[in-house]
Amino acid sequence: NCNSDSRLSSMFWVPSQLLQMLVPAACFTLSGNLKFVALGHVNPDFVTTMEQSSVILCAALGWTFMGKRYSSPQWLAIFMLTCGLLWFDWAQRKAVKGQDGAADFHQAGKSADAHLWTGFVLMILSVVMVTAGGLSCEVLLKDSRGRPFFVQKAQMEFGMAVFGVFYCLCLQPALQGSCPVYEDGLFDGWDRWTVFTLCLHTAKSWLATTTVFFLD
């Protein structure tokens, strides 16, 4: 057991590999934070729909930079998904502008439109980050077949933890002018729903990475 633990430890604490895993870790952490901020401006259905645009961006970047090729049915599916996203965006903006029809709702309509565009920009940035993280993750996982998958995933989770601490203690104070972790403590405001959401996101992270390991 001691020899096994020592071997696993030596496989994990490899500086070059940990630095490589920081790239997708930083992308995924930023994407998650941008998505949570976007939820403060737009409805969850808008966020969920915008997340699907990562499929389009991933296909375009994979075709351009990684030499991936797609069949006609796959391109048709991507085209239909693009049309669906454009239709949804048009419907959302039409619903917001409809509030401007009456004078009493003019100001509310302008405010809703501003929130919609803010959420839209945040989700675009989130999609770019998660797509970059997914592609870099795929390259790293498939180019490192000599290491066990759980070691690679643990290295990525370690990188996400490091970048999460950096975001909370450095980036968030610079962007928002305050540091809630310093001021209120790490577990301030936690309840059972916070724990439930954290478990769901952790499970999603492992499932997504496992899928990337075997598929595109």
Question: Is the model's pLDDT at 142 over the cut of 80?
Answer: no
Distance CA 124, CA 51 (A): 9
Question: Which of 209, 63, 71 lies closest to 150 in space, CA to CA?
Answer: 209
pTM for this model (two decimals): 0.74
Question: What does pLDDT average to over the chain?
Answer: 80
The DSSP letter of residue 103 is: G
| Cβ contact 156:80 at 8 Å | no
The string of pLDDT tens digits covering residues 36-72 is 888 888 888 788 888 888 888 888 888 887 788 888 8
Q: What is the percent of the chain where pLDDT is above 90? A: 6
- 148 φ, ψ (degrees, to nearest 5): -60, 150
Average pLDDT over residues 160-186: 82
